[in-house]
Structure 1
């Protein structure tokens, strides 16, 4: 029975993706059998409830797919989402993967050994916008890896400015955002509750010189804040955003 289960595991387990106990159970591997397979060298244990086939190593998409089974709303967002969809200024060596989610989660330490990442649960939209709006796999990509569409990623990028993301780099990305869809962007701007984010997207839109960036002031006025927004980041740099 164990040999047949092992054969099934070798045939069905996705390569590069850590296996949790639920996945192993679906392939007929009980916790006791998993322990036996670890001792026998057929499985390696990465952490509690995380296993990998013998000779396999975690891939970027495999790690994200594994985490998405455990972290509500996990998706690739912001700068990374734009980069994966062809919007980039410079090609970074071993770029950091920007991950967003709905709730905090203690990501296992082994993840950082295989993938540079940042993780946040910043809530920039109101409760009327379904949390999965604008999240979908890339064409031909891992179906379990959700990525923000460019319009949502633009707001997430703006949210990160001053928190490790520079305004200069964000401006440099704008020439590559020719295909932003005004109606889709408008949906996210309408439901965005952060003054900083809405004003930054307005300013970034102006810098793009594309038609989609010409009429974003109305979303700033919707929030009803007529005062200057200003903040100093941890490096002492001040970001000031005017209401108009």
Structure 2
């Protein structure tokens, strides 16, 4: 029995690299029964940070382990986006200097229940991947690291993380800003959006237009363009010119987001007063 345990645990070290999390169902599909897993935990060969999920003992568990596990082990489209992605890429540090309190996670399906029970300092906020007309290709079978770290799929790129430079899927700033605007005014403010836009000096106009073309929300597209029009960044002019040519579908009618702003006459959407946005 002991030899059986050791043989299976040796294979598990290959199947489950250090730091990754795996649910019971995934391990059962690969020949590891619940009783066998319980035996591994009892002997200290596995750890169970939450009911129904396992990992190899090692470095302290971090939120990045959970995200990478979802993308690598569990499959399905998942990435860090919205405000979290902007923070990680250095575009929101002047607004929120004390580190992450929550992680904005975008998925194609409902997240597993154990994700909220890992005892992490950060709280996961799950969003469905419905803002864009294309899905984000899953990164659960990454190519060799040198290629994976340069991979971009629909505004999401793999960023190196951890001792082994594991590819962590994080939205690029163009997509992250659109995701943030989708939360206005429900969970984010117009004023916060205006301040963030002031820091997006190095966006790519081609990527912005591709994402605007795929974006399903008229509100998000109009708000993005209205806020961008206030900036003098190099990428803004070609984006606005393309919108003027009708290359971005903006719908009809006015869009009022919240009280306290003013209506942008061109894009017909409520935006913060410029003096308020400057603080």
TM beyond 0.5: yes
Distance 1:5 1:66 in 2: 21
Partner of 1:116: 123
TM-score, normalised via structure 2 length: 0.71
**Matched position secondary structure for 1:203:** helix
Distance 2:48 2:56 in 1: 9
Q: Does 1:183 align with 2:206?
A: yes
Any unmatched runs of 5+ in structure 1? none
Q: Does 1:60 align with 2:63?
A: yes
Give the RMSD, CA atoms, in angstroms: 3.2
Q: Structure 1 residue aligned with 2:158, among 117, 126, 137?
A: 137
Partner of 1:125: 132
Partner of 1:43: 46
Mapping 1:1-244, distance limit 5 Å? 1=3, 2-6=5-9, 9=12, 13-21=16-24, 29-54=32-57, 56-68=59-71, 69-70=73-74, 72-88=76-92, 89-90=94-95, 91-108=97-114, 109-111=116-118, 113-126=120-133, 129-132=134-137, 133-139=154-160, 142-214=165-237, 215-216=239-240, 218-219=242-243, 222-232=248-258, 243-244=267-268
Query: Contact between 2:181 and 2:220, CA under 8 Å: does it hold in 1?
Result: yes
TM-score, normalised via structure 1 length: 0.80
Moved more, 190-199 or 92-101: 92-101
Query: Contact between 1:158 and 1:197, CA under 8 Å: does it hold in 2?
Result: yes
Distance 1:24 1:67 in 2: 14
**Matched position secondary structure for 1:199:** helix
Any unmatched runs of 5+ in structure 2? 138-153, 269-279
Query: Contact between 1:162 and 1:239, CA under 8 Å: does it hold in 2?
Result: no
Q: 1:33 to 1:176 in 2, by over 3 A?
A: same
**Matched position secondary structure for 1:153:** helix
Distance 1:166 1:217 in 2: 27
Aligned residues: 239
Query: Contact between 1:137 and 1:147, CA under 8 Å: does it hold in 2?
Result: yes
- What is the Cα deviation at residue 10 of structure 1? 5.8
The CA deviation string for residues 89-127 of structure 1, in whole angstroms up to 9 with x for no partner, is 23133432111112223432313644322111151222x
